[in-house]
Amino acid sequence: MARKYSKSASKDVERAMHKKKRGTLKSGSDKTVKSRKQAIAIGLSEARKKGKKVPKKAS
């Protein structure tokens, strides 16, 4: 079975989670992110913008 995400995409998520734990991760409206799910979503979104292998956003 193939990977859903690339290794480099998981690095972006890891970086976002680290920022969240430090309290420096901000959402689009410049508010501090407290939710784990939101931190993961931000990491995946950044990976998508860089063109890495990430499935499309659920609609």
Query: Over the stretch 5-47, which tens digit does the pLDDT of each residue have?
Result: 899 999 999 999 999 999 999 998 889 999 999 999 999 999 9
Question: Taking a C-beta distance cutoff of 8 angstroms, is the pair 46, 12 a contact?
Answer: yes
pLDDT at 58: 76
pTM exceeds 0.75, yes or no: yes
Residue 56 confidence (pLDDT): 83
Confidence of residue 4 (pLDDT cuts 50, 70, 90): confident
pLDDT tops 90 at residue 57: no
Other Cβ atoms closer than 10 A to 22 = 8
